[in-house]
Structure 1
Amino acid sequence: MRRPFRRRGQADLFDVVRLHLRRLSRRVLNDRCRDGLEPPEHDLLVLALERYLEQQCWHLVYVQEYGDAREPSRVRQTYLDSERAVESVARSCARYALDNWSPDWILEMRRRGAKGGRTSKRPPSWTDHDLDALAALDGLTVAAQARTLGRSRSTVDRMKRALRERG
């Protein structure tokens, strides 16, 4: 299939359609897994994606209309310009989804999210030696303590809080 020239960083319609079909395929696989059904075979998923493109994305599948060369508005650029192109994008998206999907993908994403929520705090950047140095600078202002220790004022505030909690 011939793909038109595009500038760097510019997503063309073909990429958008392919991404949409990949997401749709994974959603179908996840829904079937949730309902206790086996994943469909490759040919069945390809057929379903082709039908989806024909029914829901019919405005993307058309034939080029070449008008006068001086009227570029009449020249339509096509990305899915034939049945072969529709079949090709459906086949590649189905293969990608079946190869990269696993039945426990949703549970794994939930587990990763829960772990990230529990351990998302960064550990403090100071040591006990830094807290002792801050305790020795007790009579100075927060700005002066920050300059002396080479830290920001908010870090000095957090260090003071840790010093109070330490006792």
Structure 2
Amino acid sequence: MMKKTVIALCGLAIVGSAAMAQTPAAEPKAGFVKSVRGSVQLLDAGGAVRNASPGDALGSVDRIVTGPDSSASVVMRDDTTLVVGPASRLDLKEFHFDGTTHEGGMLLSLLRGSMRMITGLIGKTNPDAVRVETQTATIGIRGTDFIVQADGRP
């Protein structure tokens, strides 16, 4: 037998069932922008472009584009820090992380420019789950602090 719930709001009665489906929680963000210098833009999976500001959230699939003499620092949910250098384009192709088990994975694609990465929990507990692609190579992570530079030419 199903239990009925009645809620009165401003004289209106709403009858519902205790077995109502729960709406899924929004997917947690992959990280946030810590700092911005110069012209930095974020492009989300839907194609929307916005100017980056400190505190902006990053989705699990986003692009970071920096202008000349510009840079951005990003902190991911697993505490990985990414510093994107001038005239760079970095695609966050995949990010998932479980804060309880510390399991997850990350795939980045540096199409041009430079990036410094200081690995967080994913890279420290499972280095094989972190990959950085460039136009000419895919880098497997074996250290905790490194710099990648790509000239943007195939």
Return the index of the structure with the highest Cα Rg.
Answer: 1
Higher relative contact order, chain-length normalized (CA < 8 Å, sep 6+): 1
* TM-score normalised by the chain length of structure 1: 0.18
